[in-house]
Chain A
Amino acid sequence: MIDRRKFLKKAVWFIPAVGVFRRLSKEAQAKPIAGGYDPKNHLYGMGIDIDKCIGCGRCMEACKTENNVPKEPFFYRTWVERYTIKKDGEVDVETIDPRHEKPLARTKETEVLRSFFVPKLCNQCEHPPCVQVCPVGATFSTEDGVVLVDSNRCIGCRYCIQACPYGARYLHPETETADKCTFCYHRIVKGLLPACVEVCPTQARIFGDLKSMASRLVRFKRINRLHVLKAHLNTEPKVEYANLDGEVR
């Protein structure tokens, strides 16, 4: 049994803990990103030209290589959907296989009204529903407009996967945390293009900084009529589509 005097004597040792805490927090504070990158000066977005996408699947493969996404064909940070709109108004949507090993369903040509490819990825919403629902605050928007997941905080509850109206998130089978497109954040802060944009052979994907007047995206936005997916949800996506068909959801 400890008496009061002994307890107080030992408690005195906790006073220096204040200094230790402050020291630790100073060290823990994020170092500025190398190369003088300041997220305040950037706001990233992507433009996608439907008329240019050939559905080759290079973006899907490059994304998996760049971001260590599992190779199984149902984990994608970005993917390409093939829309087939039939004359009777029925719409067929299927995700293409980047290695083109799985043959795509062939609709009889006389029944097809139009058909095209739609690349999809995280829309990096201005008002992201996934951030709202996260119970532990593990996902957040950065200053430069990218929604990131803190894999150390994520508890893998899948609420965000359910909440995303675009189906852009998946649960990484190794880390058991939510994972999603980050616009290749580690590349864009170094001035590189996201991997999918880098390898796109037809420039169907345009990436750029909305705060820079010289960026290709600003020009793309000026010369195209743009649409976003599910505009009625007021998520304000930063991925905008040119020549988008009204049937695309």
Chain B
Amino acid sequence: MLDKIPEQIKRLSVVIGVIIAVVITARFVVLPSSLIDTQYHHDSTVEREVAKNVAYAGTTVCGNCHPDQMTTKSKGYHKNVSCETCHGPARAHTENPSNKPSAPRGREFCAFCHAYDPSRPTGFPQINPVVHNPLKPCTTCHKPHDPVPPESPRECSACHAQIANIKSASPHALVGCPACHTVPEKHKINPLGVRPTKPMAREFCAKCHAKEAGRKDAPSVDFSTHGDRFLCWECHYPHLPERTVQR
């Protein structure tokens, strides 16, 4: 039987056998399993993934150096808002304090969360940025670490809630009621009989709005030419003065 197989076939089968043996040894003995196993690739991917840079440091580390802000924030409505939500990634700042993180001061940033959007959940505080005290940065009235709306004195807003509400979103939000009105004590007992005063002179408004007053936060007019004999509040409603931009 074996004699019938030609010599060259016998030799060839030996060569093929050797090649197969070499390949099998190389695959299962020479090459370590870690090179064949996908586990190696997975591990190296995990390693590369873990080595990536962290940009956001996490809010807990902020308190180590800024305890005052953390205490203020922990009592306010923003207590659950991470520092880096507003200030941006601060990992670089923790390593070298001179890398200052940003502090958004414009009106746009607060509006990301607080502009009115009908899809937002009911009860979330929202405003219309177009009419809500325009042109002033939010931080003029609201401290970002403890945001509360500016309040009129309770003894005024108890009866004059409508005025208080209108004024709270106006450029005069921070001007308290007693700044313009002197309220006699008896006004609370006899509201119609004893009335609070109103500013009866143009000079009163001029204290802030005259050119000479030189206030940057208030629009100024030349009182010698503007509005001549009329009182200011005969044209401008003081609880919601119009925008300074002419349309």
Contact = CB atoms under 8 A, between A and B. Distances in A.
A187 B120 contact: no
B170 to A, nearest CB: 24
10 cross-chain pairs, A with B, having the tightest CB-CB distances, nearest first:
A30-B43, A186-B52, A115-B119, A25-B32, A150-B45, A56-B113, A199-B85, A201-B81, A56-B112, A185-B49
A54 B54 contact: no
Given A28-B44, A56-B113, 20 more contacts: A28-B40, A30-B44, A30-B47, A33-B47, A55-B119, A58-B85, A58-B113, A66-B89, A67-B52, A84-B119, A140-B38, A142-B46, A152-B45, A152-B48, A186-B49, A186-B54, A192-B54, A198-B82, A201-B85, A202-B124
A192 B57 CA distance: 8
B79 to A, nearest CB: 11
Interface of A: 17-18, 21-22, 25, 28-31, 33, 39, 51-58, 62, 65-67, 82-84, 98, 100, 104, 109, 112, 115-117, 137-138, 140, 142, 148-153, 182, 185-187, 189-190, 192-193, 195, 198-203
Contacts, number: 140
A198 B58 contact: yes
B145 to A, nearest CB: 13
Interface residues of B, number: 45
Contacts of A198: 56, 58-59, 82, 84
A201 B89 contact: no
A192 B118 contact: no
B119 A66 contact: no
Contacts of B44: 28, 30, 150, 152
B133 to A, nearest CB: 19
Contacts of A52: 121
